[in-house]
């Protein structure tokens, strides 16, 4: 004789079970097509989702009909940014270096997030198109900083360049036939004679 197991279930979009509705190990199912999933309560009393990756322009459970928030480790492929994201318990974060983006602006980059509001990722590129100082930068996630990766400028003139100057730029003094490098010693920046 077959036994039919029926879990707590719903077919209402984004209706996730609450911790009060389940006991540890009990299953809850949402079969609604836009955000289906199987849920259980873990030993900490948190609701966890088992199921496929959500796919679409809106994060899953954005308009909660049941339990608010998302489960740690839940995945969402954002079709707007074309990024795979994982819920870390607080926010959606990029699931890895799967898709770097490029940005263009004027001047040294000061971006702390992408123009669309998503987090910067290691390897994101920024191109400064300010006339006379076109440069390329790469975002380093480990140091949360933009690093100039473009080739250094080499200026030949009788006076140091007046435009914005970057670490390791070169200036050849055509009056005294000497070469300088723009050096940052950690507390100041200055031209230092090479030879």
Q: Is the pLDDT of residue 164 over 60?
A: no
pLDDT value, residue 141: 79
- Those residues whose C-beta lies under 8 Å from the C-beta of residue 101, and which sit 6 or more positions away, are 114, 121, 124, 125
pLDDT band at 195 (very low <50, low <70, confident <90, very high): low
Q: Is the pLDDT of residue 57 over 80?
A: yes
Q: Is the pLDDT of residue 82 over 80?
A: no
Over residues 140-167, mean pLDDT: 74
Alpha carbons 48 and 85: distance in angstroms, whole number: 16
Choose the weakest-confidence range: 34-43, 49-58, 95-104: 95-104
pLDDT value, residue 37: 85
Q: Is the pLDDT of residue 100 over 70?
A: no
pLDDT value, residue 160: 85
Over residues 13-41, mean pLDDT: 86
- Those residues whose C-beta lies under 8 Å from the C-beta of residue 172, and which sit 6 or more positions away, are 154, 155, 156, 157, 178, 179, 180
Q: Where are the domains of the chain?
A: 8-94, 102-148, 154-193
Alpha carbons 159 and 175: distance in angstroms, whole number: 9
- Those residues whose C-beta lies under 8 Å from the C-beta of residue 131, and which sit 6 or more positions away, are none
Q: Collapsing DSSP states into helix, strand and coil, what is residue 2?
A: coil
- Those residues whose C-beta lies under 8 Å from the C-beta of residue 19, and which sit 6 or more positions away, are 41, 45, 46, 47, 67
pLDDT value, residue 133: 65
Q: Is the pLDDT of residue 111 over 80?
A: yes
pLDDT value, residue 97: 47
């Amino acid at each position: 004789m077959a036994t039919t197991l029926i879990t707590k279930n719903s077919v209402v979009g984004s209706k996730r079970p609450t911790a009060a509705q389940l006991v540890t190990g009990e299953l809850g199912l949402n079969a609604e097509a836009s955000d289906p999933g199987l849920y259980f309560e873990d030993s900490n009393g948190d609701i966890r989702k088992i199921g496929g990756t959500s796919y679409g322009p809106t994060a899953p459970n954005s308009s909660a009909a049941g339990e608010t928030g998302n489960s740690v480790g839940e995945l969402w492929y954002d079709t707007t940014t074309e990024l795979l994201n994982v819920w870390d318990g607080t926010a959606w974060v990029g699931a890895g270096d799967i898709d770097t983006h490029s940005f263009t602006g004027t001047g040294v980059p000061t971006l702390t997030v992408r123009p669309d509001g998503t987090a910067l990722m290691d390897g994101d590129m920024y191109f400064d198109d300010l006339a006379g100082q076109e440069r390329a930068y790469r975002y380093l996630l480990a140091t949360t900083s933009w690093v100039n990766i473009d080739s250094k400028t080499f200026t030949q003139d009788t006076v140091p360049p007046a435009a914005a100057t970057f670490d390791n730029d070169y200036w050849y003094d055509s009056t005294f036939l000497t070469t300088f490098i723009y050096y940052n010693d950690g507390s100041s920046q200055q031209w230092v004679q090479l030879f």
